[in-house]
Structures are given as structure tokens and as C-alpha cells.
Structure 1
Amino acid sequence: MVLPKLAARVDDIAPFYVMEWMKEAAELERAGRDIIHMSVGQPDFTAPPAVVEAAAAAVRAGRTQYTDALGLAALREAIARFYRDAHGIDVDASRIIVTAGASAALLLACTALVDRDDEVLMPDPCYPCNRHFVSAADGKPVMIPSGPAERFQLTAAQVEQHWSPRTRGVLLASPSNPTGTSIEPDELRRLVDVVRARGGFTVVDEIYQGLSYDAHPVTALTLGEDVVTVNSFSKYFNMTGWRLGWLVVPPQWVAVFEKLAQNLFICPSAVSQYAALACFEPATLEIFEARRREFKRRRDFIVPALRTLGFGVPVVPDGAFYVYADCNDVPHAARGDSAALTRAILHDAGVALVPGLDFGTAAPRRYLRLSYATAYEKIEQAVDRIGTLFGVGA
């Protein structure tokens, strides 16, 4: 049987190598191997009891039907209060659009802002799905090599240099996956000014902003109502599988995003939304803050440990739960080839990491990504196992 031809855009979307590495690790586990997972960006913490109970109460009460496409009014207002309390900024709840995860938020943003063949600038390395969201909207992602000197982030000078007649805007993440690095506030301000002067859009993914460690995070919303931000309940709020996020958009665009949300998603999960209301209770926020401090403790252990093992960490991550490590000088035959090295570490040490192949084309074999979103004791074991493989005492 000959099947119909698939859409051409499918060819522009590469496999998600993180998921491929997960499958390989799962096969080893099925064969009886003990694998320490430091690959996927998923907190080992799950939703706190108050959130779970709020979900159960919603189900018991029959609150499982469609909500407004923009999300529950009570949740949008709770998010607005969170911006006021956590960031000292007033964001009108009418500008907040609750979505089926940050992925749906980014897809809505690209659908609304990107026309066919429009170029969207983003750093290389970056979260792989970002460029695929642009491609799905028939746009052209333009990856700009951004190394340690730029904190693996775009700079205003780079945006000026690479802006072309076809450039429509920029897609950023601060803190970033895979690097855990943030854009310095002054640099972000300069960057937004450059984009604004050219009539472009700025979309900033802030899903890891709650997991900032070295300074109080500054949301890009402070730079003007024309900046679009994306956030999520997955990372700081530990609700990955609940698939709930949000956008903040200019007031003039709300109706357009609502129309798109109605047609593409109808609405986010009702149960997840009722559950998320409990995230903003003072006792629950205390739990999230304690967990943030635990992530910082893990970071403060893993960075010097990696350096002792021979990895380079040219920029210490200030947020999220990732380290983007340079493997050029590690004491192993696969040095300088992150794909071969991560496979060796998986099979010979039982530790699952991710090669840089997912995150761009500038230096994908030089770097690998490690997630410290797993228990501290597991991280210690992983370091010991890699040290044994390398013949190095960490």
C-alpha cells in the first residue's frame, strides 16, 4: 500500500535526541542494569499534596468540563498576583493566557507572529523544540553561535549583526535549556531595544525563572508591554505531566491569541487549572522555595565535581537544573565527541546524559548536557561511577 505524501515541513524537524537516549537507557534497565538518569529536564519532585488534593477535589466536584480558552479567571488572577509578589510588577490578568504547557504557548506565539519564510533569531545552543516551533509555522529559525563569551545567549550586538530584511523577531530563554545561563538584565534591555527599533517581536521563555540561584530574577515584562513571555507550571512548580503553562502578551493581541487557542486547543486541562490554584498558597510556595534551595545545593556540588572529573564548565549555570559541560579534555578515548562519550558513560558507567546534538550545530560534539534534577545521593553516585570510568577520583 502506498501512503499519501507527508507535508514538507516534517523534513525540517529533527528527531529529539534526548528521547532517543531515554529509550536506550530504558532498554538497559529492562536488561537489569541500574541507570542513574541525568538526561531529561524533569524535577524528581512532584506536585505538593495541596496541589494533588485540589485536583482530586475538582474531579469529585465534576469540574472537568471545558473552561474559557484563555484559562480560568481565578488562575489568571493568581498568576498576576504572583508577578506582583515575586517580581514587584503589575501585570493585568487580562494579558495572561493559560495554555496546555509552555509548548502550546510557544506554538501559539509562533502561529500568531511568524509568516512563511520569516526568520527568527535564536542562540545556538538552545532548546531544540524552539526552532521546530518556528518551522511548524513555516518560518526559518536562524541559529546564531553563542559561546561562553556570550554566556551561551544572544547579545544585542549579535542581533544587530544578523538582522536581515526577512528577520521578524527573536526567541530567547532565560534561564536557558541546555545551559542554565541567564541573559544579564542590562544586555536583555539592549537586545529588546534593538529588536523594537526594527519593528520586530521579542519572545522570552521564562519557564526556569523560578529556579534562579545567584540573583533575584528580573522578568522581561519589566521592559515593556510589547515583550511576550512564556512560563510554565512544569519546572518551578513541579507539574511536568500536568501540561499547564501561560503566556503574557500585549493587551492588543489577546483577542488574536484567544481565537488561535480556541481553534488549536479549545482550552487547557480543567483539572490541571484547578489544581494549579493551590500552587499559590503560602504553604505551597514555601515548599517550592525549599526545593529551589535543594536544586542550588545540587548545582553547588556537581559543578566542581565535573571539573575534577576533567570536564570544562566555562559558564556556571545560574538557573534551571542543567550544566553544559565541555568534554574536549576529559580522560577518556571519546573525548571531544559528546555523542560517543555519552554512549560510553551510559553503557560503561550506567549514567544517562545527553550529547549536544539536540541543541544546535555550532559545537554539538564538544558539549554535553547534564541534568541535576535528580536526588543528591544519585548525583553523588553518578560522579563516583564516571570517576571510576575515567580513572579519576572526584
Structure 2
Amino acid sequence: MDLQRLATASRLANIDAFHVMELAKQAAELERAGRHIIHMGIGEPDFTAAAPVIHAAEAAMRRGVTQYTGALGIHALREAIAGYYKTSYGIDVPARRVIVTAGASGALLLACAVLVEIGAEVLMPDPSYPCNRHFVAAFDGHAKMIPSGPEERFQLTAAQVIEHWGENTRGVLLASPSNPTGTSILPDELKAILAEVRKRQGFAILDEIYQGLSYDAPPVSALSLDDNVVTVNSFSKYFNMTGWRLGWLVVPDSLVPAFEKVAQNLFICASAVAQHAALACFTPEALAIYDERKAEFRRRRDAIVPALEALGLRVPVKPDGAFYVYANCRHVNHPAAGNADRLTQAILHDAGVVMVPGTDFGPHTANDYIRISYATSMQNIEEAMQRLHHFLR
């Protein structure tokens, strides 16, 4: 009996496949065949949850706090996040504006559900994390990708907002520091962008999930510049809790009821165990661990950037946050130079190192750039650089 072939929603045509995951799949096949592969593709810390967080999760399960929580999150965690903004950023954020979510992805889905109208245009830089434009597409909006090169730090600028804001534009979706580039928006530029958006009565969604991993200057949250922004953060990156699927939003007071209504319907709540465990993230013991790990990430960045440059992989803007390097591959000594997709395939199959082509992050830098994640050990980084040296020689 033939099964009926069901039609999919037309919006899927606006959502591309994720090349990062395709390369990871190929790498897994090579490993099953006996190859030793060094993974510098997926943006996941090699550190796992800190011991105090593990102990807190165990205690929460023993106490039986595993049932639904309120859609906005447990009060104690919302208070702890508000306190974190005060101690880390010097910002007074009322706990009532904090919404605990099922990861930063859940936070971005909620933000787009609340703010993106059908047909609405949202400005973002090219390159950007691919899922950001797909969150917009999921709610029948349109992500307008603005080419942003080294001169703009691969970020959107206030001048570009002025130039590209059109009749259907409703807001901007930005990330600072950014995936894939590791670059942040400088504070004066961010302030100017927010001023232009407010002038046009638009919304600004700021992905700040890598702010805890800022290396060269104290991070500046958009919340210190404008109360009307919606900021997204996460326990995945700085707090090393990727699989726990826990994040948060800070939203304007007037939007809290709307976010709560949508969260109740789409998610009910974030994981109860993860929420109780995350309370331990803000203890002095855990924060000391995160500071040590941040210093290690910075040490890796300071090692890998000059190593890549020496191989002909040019880094036009030194990353000041996250754990990525966005390197220009046009001038490397290889037949696939200037074709990032072919080059990363060759690096994987010939050198046994996973790196990601710019293809995922937007057409402007698709061919010339590759993203390298240094969320792996120094030993792996050194071995990968040796393999690349032989590969490119």
C-alpha cells in the first residue's frame, strides 16, 4: 500500500540546511572508519557543567522538583539572573523582566513570535548565525542580510540601518559578540544603532550569549543603553551547559505578558531540573571556575590567530569574544583557495580537521571565509595547526 506523500509548509523553502551539521555527519563517518578527526566545527565548549551545577541538579532530583514550573521560570533563578546583571554589568534589571527559556533558541523563537509580523523585514548583518534568519522565516518574516565586511567588524552599523531601513522593515536582530566572527559591536556604534531603530519605532533583538566570553574589554550589554531592547542570553556558552537547554530573555515591562502567553503555549516551561541546577552557576565557587575557563579560551585565541595567519589564513579582524576565528581562505596555497566549501571538504578528508565554510552564514562571505572554533584543547589546536601546515605545504 502506497503511503500518502504529505505536502510541507511553503515557509520551509526559506529555511536552508545546516552545513555545520553535514560536516559533523561526514566526520562521524570517518571516525567510524578509524580516522582520528579533530573537531573545530561545532560551537560547543569542551568544558562541561561545573561541579556545583552537577551537585545542584542531583539535589534537585532527590528533592523531587521535577514538575512544571511557571512559564517565566522559577522566581529564585530570575532573581539570580537579575543579580548577575548588577554584579557583572552594573545594570539594575528587575527580575520581573527576566524570562527563563528552553535555551537561547527558545528565547529567539519567542522573540520572533511576539515581534515579527507576517511579511516584516528584519535587518541583520551578513555574516550571521544562520538560525537567526530562520527564526524570522519561521514566523513568515524576511531577514534582510546586509553585507558587512572587516571594515564594519562583520557587524551591522548605524549607517547601514539608515540606508537599508525600508517600508516593511520592523527591526534588527544582532549578536555581540557574534557567531561566526567572534567580533563585538563597539559600544558607541551599538548606541547609535539603537537610537536609529528607536527613531523608526522598530524593535531590536540582541543576542548576547557570548558576552561572558569577552576578552579585551568589559562587555557592554544593550540593556545599559536602551530599556526597550530585547536581549537573549544562555547558560550554554559561558556556563558550559549546552545540553541542558536553558537560556533567558530580558524584555521591556510592557512586553512581559505577551511573552508569557506565548511561552505558556509553545513551551509550558524550561526544564525544571536545569533551572534549579543553574542557581549554582552564580555561586562564588562556580564563578571562579568560569573565570579560569574564560582565561583558557583567551589563551587558545591568542595561540590560534597567529598560527592561522602563518598558514595564509588571514584574520582581518581579531575576535574579541566567543570562541571562533573567521579567516579569509582566498590566499592559501591550495587549488580550492577562494572556495570555502571545497576547501573545508578537503581539510576534513585529507587533514582530518573539521572547519566550517562561510556558506552557512550568508552569501557575502560564503566563498572567501571559513569559521574555526577553538572550543577544544590546546593539544588539539596544536595538532590541527600541524596537520594544516602539511596539508597546505
Q: What TM-score, normalized to structure 2?
A: 0.99
- The correspondence of residues 350-361 of structure 1 with structure 2, limited to 5 A, is 350-361=352-363
* Matching residue within 349, 367, 373 for 1:347: 349
- The correspondence of residues 241-256 of structure 1 with structure 2, limited to 5 A, is 241-256=243-258
- The correspondence of residues 1-394 of structure 1 with structure 2, limited to 5 A, is 1-391=3-393
Letter paired with 1:321: F
Deviation at 1:363? 2.2
Question: How many percent of aligned residue pairs carry the same amino acid?
Answer: 65
CA contact (8 A) 2:70 2:269 kept: yes
Letter paired with 1:292: K
1:1-51 deviations in Å (ceiling 9; x for gaps): 232211101111000110000000000000000000000000000001110
1:187-207 deviations in Å (ceiling 9; x for gaps): 000000000000000110000
RMSD: 0.5
Alpha-carbon distance in 2 for matches of 1:363, 1:52: 40
Alpha-carbon distance in 2 for matches of 1:2, 1:366: 43
SS in 2 for 1:41: coil
SS in 2 for 1:168: strand
Deviation at 1:368? 0.4
SS in 2 for 1:247: strand
Deviation at 1:225? 1.3
Alpha-carbon distance in 2 for matches of 1:133, 1:182: 21
CA contact (8 A) 2:194 2:226 kept: no
1:346-377 deviations in Å (ceiling 9; x for gaps): 01111000001100011201000000000011
Deviation at 1:332? 1.1
Alpha-carbon distance in 2 for matches of 1:3, 1:95: 45
Deviation at 1:82? 0.3
Deviation at 1:337? 0.6
Structure 2: gaps of 5 or more residues: none
Letter paired with 1:243: R
SS in 1 for 2:302: helix
SS in 2 for 1:210: helix
Alpha-carbon distance in 2 for matches of 1:366, 1:266: 43
Q: What TM-score, normalized to structure 1?
A: 0.99
SS in 2 for 1:231: strand
Alpha-carbon distance in 1 for matches of 2:39, 2:121: 36
Alpha-carbon distance in 1 for matches of 2:163, 2:148: 13
1:191-228 deviations in Å (ceiling 9; x for gaps): 00000000000110000000000000010001121011
Q: How many residues align?
A: 391
Alpha-carbon distance in 2 for matches of 1:362, 1:340: 17
Structure 1: gaps of 5 or more residues: none
Alpha-carbon distance in 1 for matches of 2:330, 2:8: 40
CA contact (8 A) 2:67 2:272 kept: yes
Alpha-carbon distance in 1 for matches of 2:54, 2:285: 14
1:52-89 deviations in Å (ceiling 9; x for gaps): 01111111111100001000100000000000000011
